[in-house]
Each structure stands twice: as C-alpha cells, then as structure tokens.
Structure 1
Amino acid sequence: MPHKPPTSPAFLEKAEGLACVRSVDPHRVVLLSPSSDQPVILSGTSAAIWAILNDVLTTQEVVERIAHEYRVDPSEVSSDVEQFIENLVDQQLLVTRAPGRQ
C-alpha cells in the first residue's frame, strides 16, 4: 500500500541511502535509490523542490517556499507540489515523520 503524505503536519525527509547527483545543469538532479534499479531524473521545478527538501519541512512549507520562489499564490502550486511529494513517497525517495519523532 503506498504511503501518502498525511494531511496533518508531518515532516518530510529524504530517504536514507539515496545517491543524489547534480548535473552540469543546476536545474537537473539524478537520484539513485537502493530500492530501485532505475534512476529518477528531476528537472526544473522538481529539482527545485528536491533542493528545498534539504531542510526537514512539512508539505505546506514546501508549497509556501515554491510559491515564494516562483512568485505565485500557494493555491496555484499546492496540488502539483502535493502530487509530486506523494510520488516521491510512493517511490521511497521521501519518508514522512510525525512531529516530535526523531
């Protein structure tokens, strides 16, 4: 069963054991996971979201940072960001952690 980001504020963290390779293009990232034989290539906004996830944040905080970076209202990017995060969780590239848990 896929692990979807909870609607309550849970923190997002990059999964352990990932290899992250930045290409010459700063807006492109390749992820290699020990749980998959296929690399995941992120570019554009996806790479920007991945960079933001260097901090441990909630989904809402990611939405707010992307909206600020692209100078749009959070409601304009919320659905796309949430879907992207859900995909990363499903691919075991991101994990969620309840507040207060280490």
Structure 2
Amino acid sequence: CRAVMGVTFIDRLYVKPQVVLIDQESLLDLREHVSLPIVCLVDETRETRDLPDESRLSLGAQLLRVHSEYTSDVSTIQQWTGAIPGNADLHEPLDRVREALEETLRSGSAA
C-alpha cells in the first residue's frame, strides 16, 4: 500500500525530483518501483554498524542510506551533496511537510 501511494505521489509531481529524501527506512522499498534514487535519513539513535558501507553516505553530521539493491544510487546522490551545506538540517523540510499534513487532517476532521 505504501509503495502504491509513493509511486502515485511521485508520478503526479509536476516537477520531477532528481532524488527523493525520506525518513522512514520502510519506504526504501519504494525504490523498486521508481527510476530515481530514494535516500533515507538514518535515525541518529539507530545502531549503524549493521549497515553495509556501500549503501550509506554522510552529509555533514547526518547519515543517509539507500536501498541495498541500489547501491549505485550512492554515487548518483554524491554528485548533488556538494550543493547542500554540511550543516543543513535535512529533517526540517520533512518535519514541515508532516506538520502541514497533520494540520490538514485536523482541519478536515473538524469540518
């Protein structure tokens, strides 16, 4: 269900992204259904020793990972990391989207 929703969301975007940033590792499987890289912010509290080196990359202090079957996405994503400051908070835009969706749901249920 999540993969179907994710594919539908990406397909309906007017401006197609070069990469999709997520913060839920369970959504990495979306990569099996789309042609663009999916990169996940790794939870800072997660033990990362079990992540294969070829599926992860760092951006400043933040650890990112790609789907284990698409490790070539790491080099693709690294092409763009120079345009993002190392101190950028990649969680912030995801938090804003989450808050906007929650507000929309609250407004809809109050109506």
* TM superposition score normalised by structure 2: 0.29
Which of the pair is proportionally richer in strand?
1
Which structure has the higher relative contact order (CA within 8 Å, separation 6+)? 1
Which of the pair is proportionally richer in helix?
2
